[in-house]
Amino acid sequence: MTFTPHGKHLIAGNWIGTENTFTSEPAHGSAHSFSAGTPELVDQAVKAAEDAFWTYGYASRADRAGFLNAIADEIEARAEAITEIGTQETGLPEGRLNGERGRTTGQLRLFAEHILKGDYLDRRHDPALPDRQPLPRPDLRMMQRPIGPVAVFGASNFPLAFSTAGGDTAAALAAGCPVVVKGHGAHPGTAEIVAEAIHAAIAKCGLPAGVFSLIQGGNRAVGQALVQHPLIRAVGFTGSLGGGRALFDLCAQRPEPIPFYGELGSVNPMFMLPSAIAARGAELGKGWAGSLAMGAGQFCTNPGIAVVLEGAEADAFVEATRAALSEAGGQVMLTDGIAKAYTSGAKAMAGQPGVQDLLTSTCDQREAKPFLFKVSAADWTGNHTLAEEVFGPLGLVVVARDAEEMTRVAHSLSGQLTATLHMDDADADLARRLLPVLERKAGRVLANGFPTGVEVCDAMVHGGPYPASTNFGATSVGTLSIRRFLRPVCYQNLPQSVLPDDLG
């Protein structure tokens, strides 16, 4: 089934075209023309979302779960066409698109189950104590309630799992919040077909059309108008530090500021402890190269930095990494802009004081090949540029003289999505020294694995202190991510006949 996009926005159930257009830049296949978004369309979509909230925000959990499952069914019904347009637009291989579709429908179904269980409501009850002295206590009940319309920005690097019907949308809809998505220009056709699936699910479930809208971008005014719209209650975003920070600042400057849940940059450091590296340095080097080059390194959890203790064992690990990376072929990047940022980031790193090239590559246009650099811990800690994310398959080895210096590297890290310890039993003392530092820096600390591959489950945290995210109390993956779109409300002395159903 071939899908040809019509290029329109989905605004509260209507497909609407606009005069101004932009053209997609697929990695292969034909380019298509898309209507560019406008602030007027944003206003229309958000007002419809607010109207829909009065129904959808008060729908039963069973009805919302049914809707999430219906979206998953409608996505599956379009599986082949989604993969076809997705691979064309992003250059990602078919296997990746199929896997990401499974993750997307899995997330929707997981949230359906999660809300049916009801634990997320975090219901609490302090019964009245009429005889308490010196003052009686009233009856107090608490429950989490949905916040209202939510804005979601599609991510360039996850055309399905973090875009139109991705994690942010699934969490918001599960909570009871209507969603307005701003599509990413890297995959507008993929956004359109997924929006079609949501549109069909809305009709099937008899929900108000304003529960979901998709506005394609084409200009910055769309995203800005969306986060500044007075009826938007929160924003979910995955993207660059610069873009995320600009939108975060706009949210903070609103007359009524709102939370901006941005998942931004991270270099995901790995600490290679001495016994582990002595026992299996070559294997770890190969493993790092595989994780670094996977998906052309376009993952927020890409492990960009490995910290080692100087010595022959570390040299063997580095050589194994270099050898494995030098065999990796070129891979198409998501957009021309991302490919340009990658090559200029690699060039900038090569020019920093003390940085040694271990593997340099020549990238053609939208293609990425791996880079590997090395620097001493002393040079690394003194230079913030070296701690910044270069989005793509670029690795930096940081060489510490001793455990003290390795710990100093951990202390100087900025906020991270993940931090990894590669360790054996004999490394436990050093690992115990590093852990208290790393858990202050990262949302997820892992041992003896690679951080790419983020499980969607109850215990996952995909977030971390700034700049990994703009809100260290939150996660954008897993069932806990629903909390971003909820707000605790206390009901004092309300009679049973008036309390919301979930408290009754």
* Least gap, CB of 374 to ligand NAP (angstroms): 22
| 300 close to 263: Cβ distance less than 8 angstroms | yes
Is 338 one of the binding residues for ligand NAP (CB under 6 A)?
A: yes
Residue 29: CB minimum distance to ligand NAP, A = 20
Given the DSSP bridges, would you call strands 260-263 and 234-238 parallel, antiparallel or unpaired? Answer: parallel
Alpha helices in 118-236 (DSSP H): 167-175, 188-205, 220-228
- For ligand NAP, the binding residues in 343-372 under the rule CB under 6 A are none
238 binds ligand NAP (CB under 6 A): yes
- In the complex with ligand NAP, the residue whose CB is nearer, 231 or 341, is 341
Of 105, 157, 469, 476, which lies in the binding site for ligand NAP, with binding defined by CB under 6 A? 157
Given the complex with ligand NAP, which of 223 and 370 has the nearer CB atom? 223
Distance CA 293, CA 404 (A): 31
How many other CB atoms are there within 10 angstroms of residue 293's CB atom? 23
Whether the CB-CB separation of 408 and 380 falls below 8 Å is answered with no
Report if residue 228 touches ligand NAP, rule: CB under 6 A.
no
Nearer to ligand NAP, 386 or 399 (CB): 386
Q: Exposed, middle or buried by CB within 10 Å (0-12, 13-18, 19+), for 273? A: buried
Is 490 marked active-site? no
Q: Which is nearer to ligand NAP, 138 or 453 (CB)?
A: 453
What is the token pair recorded at 289?
């190269």
Our finding on whether 300 is near ligand NAP (CB under 6 A) is: yes
Which residues pair with residue 137 across a beta bridge? Answer: 129
Give yes or no for residue 199 binding ligand NAP (CB under 6 A).
no
Least CB distance to ligand NAP at residue 232 (A): 14
In the bound complex, what is the minimum distance in angstroms from residue 278's beta carbon to ligand NAP?
33
Which ranges of 57-185 would DSSP assign to H, the alpha helix? 61-77, 79-90, 94-117, 167-175
Catalytic residue among 84, 192, 196, 263: 263
**Applying CB under 6 A, which of residues 184, 187, 229, 484 lies at the interface with ligand NAP?**
184
Tokens (6 digits) for 327: 């065999």
- Give 3-state DSSP helix, strand, coil % of the chain, rounded to 5: 45, 20, 35
291 in Cβ contact with 332 (< 8 Å): no
Instruction: By CB under 6 A, name the one of 246, 447, 494, 503 that touches ligand NAP.
Output: 246
Interacting residue with ligand NAP among 44, 88, 107, 156 (CB under 6 A): 156
Question: Of these, 261, 271, 391, 450, which contacts ligand NAP (CB under 6 A)?
Answer: 391
E strand or H helix at 54? helix 39-56
- Can 251 be counted among the known catalytic residues? no
Kindly state the smallest distance separating residue 331's Cβ from ligand NAP, in Å: 15
Distance between CA 172 and CA 478 in Å, rounded?
12
DSSP string computed for 461-495: ----STTSBS-TT--SSSGGGGGGGEEEEEEES--
Q: What is the C-alpha end-to-end distance of the chain, expressed in Å?
A: 48
CB of 249 to ligand NAP, least distance (A): 9
Among the residue ranges 97-105, 128-136, 152-160, 168-176, the one whose residues contact ligand NAP (CB under 6 A): 152-160
Count of chain residues binding ligand NAP (CB under 6 A): 26
Among positions 427-486, residues that touch ligand NAP (CB under 6 A) are none
Q: At what angle do helices 167-175 and 61-77 cross, to 10 degrees?
A: 150
Q: Which is nearer to ligand NAP, 26 or 265 (CB)?
A: 265
Nearest in space to 174 (alpha carbons), one of 195, 150, 191, 197? 150
Site for ligand NAP in 257-296 (CB under 6 A): 263-266
The residue number with the shortest CB distance to ligand NAP is 243
Give me the residues paired with residue 145 across strands. 487
Pick from 16, 200, 282, 341 the residue near ligand NAP by CB under 6 A.
341
DSSP state of 392: S
Selecting among 192, 300, 367, 405, the annotated active-site residue is 300
Copy the structure tokens of residue 405: 């210096």
Position among 153, 260, 288, 317 found at the interface with ligand NAP (CB under 6 A):
153
Task: Supply the residues annotated as catalytic.
Answer: 263, 300
Instruction: List interacting residues with ligand NAP (CB under 6 A).
Output: 153, 155-157, 182, 184-185, 217, 220, 223-224, 238-240, 243-244, 246-247, 263-266, 300, 338, 341, 391
